[in-house]
Amino acid sequence: MKSGIVLVVTAGMLSLTACNSGFDVAKQDLQLSLSDNQAAVSIAAWEGSENHPDRVFEKWQSEIKAKSLKAEEVCQALLEADGPTLSLMAPEIERAENAEMLKGCKADLLAKVQKFYEDDRDNLTMNLENFFGDQTTPRDYRPVTPRKFPDNVQIRDMSNGYYAVNADVAPGEVILTFDDGPSEKYTQIILKTLKQMNAKAIFFHLGKNVNANPNIVKMVAADGHSIGGHSMSHRCLANKTICAKNNGGKALSFKQATEEIAGSMNAIKNTLGWVDPFFRFPYGEYDKSLTAYLNNKGIGNFYWRIDSNDWKSQTPSNLIKNTMNQVKAAGKGIILFHDIHQRTAEALPEILSQLYSGGYKIVLLKPKKAMTVPVNPAP
């Protein structure tokens, strides 16, 4: 009798564990993703993580299809996650391919993400609710009138190639750069913020996003910013171990890598009739052969001196603090941002304000001559 009772209770416990296992696994996936994001030493390391959000959501989709996980368990795990975790997951929550899986919770999740950012606005002197005097704010913020940076256009010769970290700017001068766009959601907010303070930047666009959002590319150009390429699809281009890992175990051939470079440059040229001969390698990873290719084409290789690390999950106020600490330590040079993240859009008004009050000058770099003919990949 006793053994029979134990067996029944044990079976019940096993059944209960099985019921909760999907939620527990999804919750652990979220914890591992945030942990990997915070521990990553570079964006290349982060995007190569097996716990990157896009891989987590792909895993969940497969497990739901295999009936080892339920969409309700995914929703439960996400709804119980904190703001930093949800902000990291936001691009996947918004992705159309995940809509069916999240149909029971998507609206609530996006509302929680928005609250995470809105709550942090109270910590910022300049924020997206008080920065633009022409809007009625949902909360009682008093509009702040931002000051304007003076025009500061500087020309660089790209005819034999060029390598930029500080880009030959003087102490106290910085260059703003934005990678991975144009974003349908955030690039226009960033453009409006930049215009409000007469700040100009270099945008390094992905070819696939240029083709998807040509009108936004035209807006960037109309506002007077410089526009260069950033590859077609953000694959890691160099013949290096880290690139092989990020590309599924095999590095791209030289021809494939140059097709990525040429493709992004030509996508911009086909949209605008010109493209600045500026290129930034995805993850900042390049090699001698690709450098020689750029030099031969008269295209500059743009790295950075100051990395905002805006790909890390953090509040905008922390992003501002970390970026400005680096600016003060470096004193000059190129600042790396991405115009695909809400945290960047939220932080930019205060970053510009602190740059202005700190006496920094924002430089707009222009080439001697824009490119108006197609860029050919290697044969």
pLDDT tens by residue, 268-304: 999 999 999 999 999 999 999 999 999 999 999 999 9
Establish whether the linkage from the previous residue to 182 is cis, with ω within 30° of 0: yes
Q: Is 169 among the domain residues?
A: yes
Do residues 316 and 248 share a domain? yes
Do residues 202 and 351 share a domain? yes
Do residues 115 and 159 share a domain? no
Q: Is 319 among the domain residues?
A: yes
Do residues 106 and 236 share a domain? no
Rg of the chain over Cα atoms, rounded to whole angstroms, equals 23
Do residues 218 and 335 share a domain? yes
pLDDT band at 315 (very low <50, low <70, confident <90, very high): very high
pLDDT band at 136 (very low <50, low <70, confident <90, very high): very low
> Could you give the number of structural domains in the chain?
2
Q: Is 95 among the domain residues?
A: yes
Mean pLDDT of the chain: 93
* Catalytic choice (52, 230, 234, 338): 338
174, 334 in Cβ contact below 8 A?
yes
Q: Is 373 among the domain residues?
A: no
- Residue 269's pLDDT is what? 99
Quickly list DSSP for 206-226. Answer: -HHHHHH-HHHHHHHHHTT-E
Among candidate residues 122, 139, 170, the one where a domain is terminated: 122
- Residue 142's pLDDT is what? 57
Whether pLDDT at 135 is above 60: no
Q: Is 372 among the domain residues?
A: no
Indicate the pTM of the whole model: 0.91
* Catalytic choice (179, 180, 276, 307): 179
State pLDDT tens for residues 106-128: 999 999 999 999 999 999 998 99
Separation of alpha carbons 224 and 242, rounded Å: 36
Quickly list DSSP for 319-379. Answer: HHHHHHHHHHHH-SEEEEEETT-HHHHHHHHHHHHHHHHTT-EE-EEEESS-B-SPPPPP-
Separation of alpha carbons 118 and 315, rounded Å: 10
CATH at 209? 3.20.20.370
Q: Comparing 29-38, 125-134, 186-195, 333-342, which segment has the lowest mean pLDDT? A: 125-134
Do residues 226 and 333 share a domain? yes
Separation of alpha carbons 293 and 238, rounded Å: 12
How many percent of the chain have pLDDT more than 90? 88
Whether pLDDT at 12 is above 50: no
pLDDT band at 15 (very low <50, low <70, confident <90, very high): very low
Token pair recorded at residue 154: 């500087």
- Residue 91's pLDDT is what? 97
pLDDT band at 8 (very low <50, low <70, confident <90, very high): very low
Q: What is the mean pLDDT of residues 261-268?
A: 99
Distances (CA, A) of 268 to 104, 106, 195, 292: 39, 34, 22, 22
Q: Is 8 among the domain residues?
A: yes
Do residues 181 and 33 share a domain? no
Separation of alpha carbons 199 and 176, rounded Å: 9
Q: What is the mean pLDDT of residues 52-74?
A: 97
126, 116 in Cβ contact below 8 A?
no
Do residues 113 and 163 share a domain? no
Do residues 180 and 219 share a domain? yes
Distances (CA, A) of 217 to 109, 174, 190, 360: 30, 23, 13, 27
What is the residue range of 70's domain? 2-122
Separation of alpha carbons 55 and 83, rounded Å: 20
Among candidate residues 101, 122, 143, the one where a domain is terminated: 122
Distances (CA, A) of 90 to 84, 238, 326: 10, 29, 27
Q: Is 136 among the domain residues?
A: no
Helix count and strand count (H, E) for the chain: 14, 11
Query: 162: which strand partners?
Result: 300
Do residues 31 and 83 share a domain? yes
Among candidate residues 122, 142, 172, the one where a domain is terminated: 122
Sign of CA dihedral 88, 278, 329, 192: negative
Residues with Cβ within 8 Å of residue 108, at least 6 apart in sequence: 79
Do residues 160 and 285 share a domain? yes
Give the residue carrying structure tokens 């102490």.
171
Q: Is 137 among the domain residues?
A: no
Active site residue 338: yes
Do residues 97 and 173 share a domain? no
Separation of alpha carbons 329 and 17, rounded Å: 52
